[in-house]
Amino acid sequence: MANSEITSDFIHLLRKFGHDMRVPLNTLISTSDMLVQGAYDALTPKQEKAATRLQRNSYRLLAILDDFVTYIKASEGELDISLKSFDIKEKLESWATPMKPILDSKNISLIIETTESAPMIVSDENLLKRIIQALLWNATSFTESGEIWVSAEYFPDSKWLIHIKDTGTGIPSQDLPHLFEPFWRGEARPQVPTAGAGLGLPLARVLAQVLKGEVKLEKTSSSGTHFCVELAVQPQTNL
């Protein structure tokens, strides 16, 4: 009883916190967007660089806030699930779009494959997107060359396995026990600012659990890392 009261109060507090943070963030995002778009007159190259930095970090702050609130709500079973059918290959391609400029700049090939004649997947599109994007950002951040390979495997009436493999340098063994700890910062760090903070992998895992699935580290070595998202097959829906 006491725990549920604390949880309820805590969630309420978080919702208020999230709302109160979003108001000034909205101003930051809108103003920095307008600055970058030249709405307050043309900027010098130096001003444009500074405004872009402001804009990027406003969105970064929003991503951190969103990840944090989502992580707490998911951990407390407060997240709503909305199942629908969709084409997983099409979505994987769309979800990888934000990483493409960084992948192109590093000359990393992105390969997306799915089991031939796989049916539409039934899942929560938004939650699955966040899981896959967290794993893709992780792969993108820690791979300097080679390729990132994403594949969705369908096992009839049983499960979906979505693999994310990279040719990065792997995860140091001392970091492995902490991999899914919120805000854990390991030996290896991305040198470019990415969306979110230290919640990528923990958030992916907790969201997969909300979908009655799991995120597993299959393998990591000096030649790459392989994560796998396992999801039980849900009954087809007309939605």
Burial class (CB in 10 A: 0-12, 13-18, 19+), 128: buried
Select the residue interacting with other proteins from 24, 38, 77, 193 (CB under 8 A).
Answer: 193
Candidate residues 191, 222, 238, 239; the one interacting with other proteins per rule CB under 8 A = 191
77 vs 193, which CB is nearer to other proteins?
193
N- to C-terminal Cα separation, the chain: 37
- The C-alpha torsion from 231 through 232 and 237 to 239, rounded to 10°, is -20
Give yes or no for residue 185 binding other proteins (CB under 8 A): yes
Tell me if 174 contacts other proteins by CB under 8 A: no
- Give SS3 for 223: coil
Burial 154-176 (b: 16+ CB within 10 A, else e): beeeeebbbbbbbbbbbbeeebe
Q: Which residue do the tokens 């049983």 mark?
A: 158
CB closer to other proteins, 80 vs 187: 187
DSSP per position, 119-138: --EEEEHHHHHHHHHHHHHH
State yes or no: residue 187 binds other proteins (CB under 8 A). yes
Our finding on whether 189 is near other proteins (CB under 8 A) is yes
Beta-strand relationship, 146-155 and 121-124: unpaired
Nearest distance in Å: CB 57, other proteins: 6
Tell me if 12 contacts other proteins by CB under 8 A. Answer: no
Residue 168 DSSP class: S
Comparison of 112 and 197: residue with beta carbon closer to other proteins? 197
When the beta carbons of 32 and 114 are compared against other proteins, the nearer one is 32
The owner of tokens 């979003």 is 22
50 is a site residue for other proteins (CB under 8 A): yes
Q: Which is nearer to other proteins, 23 or 189 (CB)?
A: 189
The span from the CA of 181 to the CA of 226, in Å, is 18
Handedness of CA 56, 127, 136, 208 (dihedral sign): positive
The span of 49-57, 86-94, 130-138, 205-213 binding other proteins (CB under 8 A) equals 49-57
57 binds other proteins (CB under 8 A): yes
Q: How far is the CB of 53 from other proteins (least distance, A)?
A: 5
Which stretch, 78-86, 173-181, 189-197, 215-223, contacts other proteins (CB under 8 A)? 189-197
Choice between 98 and 119, CB closer to other proteins: 98
- Among 50-58, 91-99, 203-211, 220-228, the segment contacting other proteins (CB under 8 A): 50-58
